[in-house]
Amino acid sequence: MATIQWFPGHMAKALRQIREQMSLVDIVFELVDARLPYSSLNPEIKKAMGDKPHVLIMTKLDLADNNITNDWINYFTDHGLPVIAVDSRDRKVASIVTKKAQEVLSDKIAKNEDKGLSKRAIRAMCVGVPNVGKSTLLNHLVKRNVANTGNRPGVTTGQQWLRLSSNLELLDTPGVLWPKFQTQEIGVKLALSGTIKDSLFPKDDVALFAIHHIRQVNSGVIRERYHLSEDQLSPDLSDADVLLAITTKIGFKDDYDRASERIIFDLRKGKLGRISLESPQELEEIDDD
């Protein structure tokens, strides 16, 4: 498998700015993809935050398995990390986010009131990896199109302050990755989810990972989507055999790259159902080894 990594100069600059601006905010909202909440947690952002109050916001709920999302919420809560899962299109998302911020900062707010300090809006920084849905969420939070949106990494290119209400101000930041992924599996998951530019990774490697994962959790969706027979999805066949069958079935002859692109696209768009790419149980199994 080819090495997948992406940390261009503009991300290094953005990460440096995040560190510099951290003292200006009361709290950090870190957005993660609900399909891969662990792999989309940026360790460099964690370092930059220090002991700053922190809320994890899980996005793209409509693409993730509901039960596994609930498992992740319980996992992060058990590890002392405030977390909310939101649908960016939900009209109530602004009140949900504001309420969580006030809850996490309740002690600080109470102390300021005791000191007779005038009440001001909570200042929050919004961070996350590229294409995690930050711009979409922010546009719904402020109820107008203030952040460019697009289904590709790198749409937000600079920092900007956004006023959500009299109670909350947000500092938006560009999506950033980190210099070296802990494992190549993390890189593959990020590529599969759309966090890494498509031109920077081998499509067949990522598609084979997707096929392998889906065969383990629900092989039926592959059969239904690509009209494969039971024999073409036999456990005795390799993932490469299944990719070959899909390539032939959808009329791409021996163009495996094109078929791989179709599989990746279908997973990203939810055409293969609601699929989570990792679970807390997998982390626990790794810790036990």
Q: What pLDDT is stored for residue 148 in this prediction? A: 46
In this prediction, residues 178-191 reach a mean pLDDT of 96
- Is 234 labeled as ligand-binding? no
- For the chain, give the percent of residues with pLDDT over 90: 73
Question: pLDDT band for position 144 (50/70/90)?
Answer: low
In this prediction, residues 93-111 reach a mean pLDDT of 89
- Is 131 labeled as ligand-binding? yes
Q: What pLDDT is stored for residue 289 in this prediction? A: 53
- Is 220 labeled as ligand-binding? no
- Average pLDDT value for the chain: 90
Q: What pLDDT is stored for residue 150 in this prediction? A: 46
- Is 134 labeled as ligand-binding? yes
How far is residue 18 from each of residues 65, 103, 234, 254, measured CA to CA in Å? 32, 24, 49, 46
135 vs 209: which has the higher pLDDT:
209
Residue whose entry in the numeric block shows the structure tokens 């990494």: 153
Question: pLDDT band for position 20 (50/70/90)?
Answer: very high
Q: At what angle do helices 106-114 and 93-104 cross, to 10 degrees?
A: 60
Does 70 have pLDDT greater than 90?
Answer: yes
* Domain range annotation of the chain: 9-172, 202-288
2 vs 213: which has the higher pLDDT:
213
Q: What pLDDT is stored for residue 85 in this prediction? A: 94
101 vs 156: which has the higher pLDDT:
101
pTM of the model: 0.90
Which residues, in sequence order, are bridge partners of residue 122?
Answer: 168
* Other residues' Cβ atoms within 10 Å of the Cβ of residue 151: 11
- Is 60 labeled as ligand-binding? no
Does 153 have pLDDT greater than 50?
Answer: no
- Is 135 labeled as ligand-binding? yes
CB contact at 8 A, 279 and 71: yes
CATH topology for the 9-172 domain: Rossmann fold (3.40.50)
